[in-house]
Amino acid sequence: MNTAQGIGSLIRQAIINEQPVKTRLAPTPSGYLHRGNLYNLILNWWLARATGGKVLLRIDDLDRERVRPEYVDFIFRCLDWLELDWDEGPGKPDDLQQQWSQEHRMPMYRALMLQLKDRNLLYACTCSRNTLSKKPCDCRTSTAELSGREYSLKLVLPEQAVVYMQDALIGSALSHTTPLEDPVIWKKNDSAAYHLCSVSDDLYFGVSHILRGEDLFISSLIQQQLSQLAGLTAFGDIQIGHHPLIYGPEGAKLSKSAGSRSVMPELQQNQTLFLREFALWAGIPKSNEIQRLRDILQIAVDKS
């Protein structure tokens, strides 16, 4: 199945089962969004809108050192340009600060961290970035006292030979055969780390489907394990699908941090062309009938 067929299948499934759909657009304002980021937003929007579901805009802004106001503004401008709408979440950058920033949900993240700590599932990691570049972390066996302020906290993952996940877009199970590294759950600066925030937020906002790039497959597995260890069984009901990435001219993965340039000039120049390129990438038939984003909803995608 290509990506469009995977979405088509999820749409039919949701309609037949009368399953309420809620997807999330979860951009991180740590750089200017690139083409691949926008493709991901469109996929999530498409699934929700084609099923009469809801779209949440959740801007992952907890990494204070990397977030910049111009990146936040850029997210809103891209959404506006694509005419991509949402039902819940900040309407503009000020709103993010006042109501929707992840900062406001720190008590919830902390509660989950403490829950894991109570279950003896966390250990203190004293490694610096420099140490980690030379040798793997062996803090799991050390006896350092747990403290969120002096150390980062890592989660003890079970040692399993193979980890599986049913992929919602591919329609079959994907497996991973090398041991997963214990993830950081709480950072040295006494702030929640990515996996913990992501799981908490997806449950808090009642997300039903997560569509993300295949580079986040390991993250999905870690989040699945984290939720199981914390007893958050509802996370297992969320359907997670991974789509292929798009690559730059020299075959390099697009990356905000590697400075992949802003997509805005292309969008401003020719929105229709941008959407048709998206449609071709996703495998949407009749891509030449697409003028605006909403046209995607009119095109039925058959099973493979």
d(Cα 49, Cα 251) in Å, to the nearest integer? 32
| The pair of three-digit structure tokens given for residue 121, joined into one six-digit string | 């599932």
Among 127, 180, 245, 264, binds Zn ion (CB under 5 A): 127
- Tell me if 153 contacts Zn ion by CB under 5 A: no
Q: Which is nearer to Zn ion, 139 or 229 (CB)?
A: 139
CB of 131: closest distance to Zn ion in angstroms? 7
Residue 192: strand, helix, or coil = strand
| The pair of three-digit structure tokens given for residue 85, joined into one six-digit string | 């709408």
Question: Which of 90, 54, 85 has its CA nearest to residue 208?
Answer: 54
- Among the listed ranges 57-65, 123-131, 276-284, 291-299, the one in contact with Zn ion (CB under 5 A) is 123-131
Q: Which is nearer to Zn ion, 12 or 117 (CB)?
A: 117
Binding map of Zn ion across residues 31-60, x = CB under 5 A, - = no contact: ------------------------------
Distances (CA, A) of 75 to 28, 29, 79, 264: 9, 7, 6, 10
Tell which positions 184-203 bind Zn ion, by CB under 5 A: none
DSSP for 84-153? Answer: ---SBS-SSHHHIIIII-GGGGHHHHHHHHHHHHHTT-EEEE---HHHHHHS---GGG--PPP-TTTSEE
Binding map of Zn ion across residues 9-28, x = CB under 5 A, - = no contact: --------------------
- Largest Cα span, the chain: 63
Question: Which of 42, 40, 33, 43 has its CA nearest to residue 7?
Answer: 43
CB of 200: closest distance to Zn ion in angstroms? 24
- Among the listed ranges 88-96, 124-132, 187-195, 261-269, the one in contact with Zn ion (CB under 5 A) is 124-132
Q: Which is nearer to Zn ion, 125 or 279 (CB)?
A: 125
* Radius of gyration of the chain measured on its C-alpha atoms: 20
- Tell me if 174 contacts Zn ion by CB under 5 A: no
CB of 237: closest distance to Zn ion in angstroms? 33
Among 1, 106, 108, 139, binds Zn ion (CB under 5 A): 139
At a CB cut-off of 8 Å and minimum separation 6, what does 242 contact? 167, 169, 170, 174, 211, 212, 213, 214, 216, 217, 220
Tell me, by CB under 5 A, how many residues bind Zn ion. 4
d(Cα 89, Cα 68) in Å, to the nearest integer? 19
Q: Which is nearer to Zn ion, 132 or 297 (CB)?
A: 132
CB of 34: closest distance to Zn ion in angstroms? 32
Among 108, 137, 218, 299, binds Zn ion (CB under 5 A): 137
- Among the listed ranges 136-144, 156-164, 179-187, 272-280, the one in contact with Zn ion (CB under 5 A) is 136-144
CB 117 within 8 A of CB 144: no
Residues that bind Zn ion (CB under 5 A): 125, 127, 137, 139
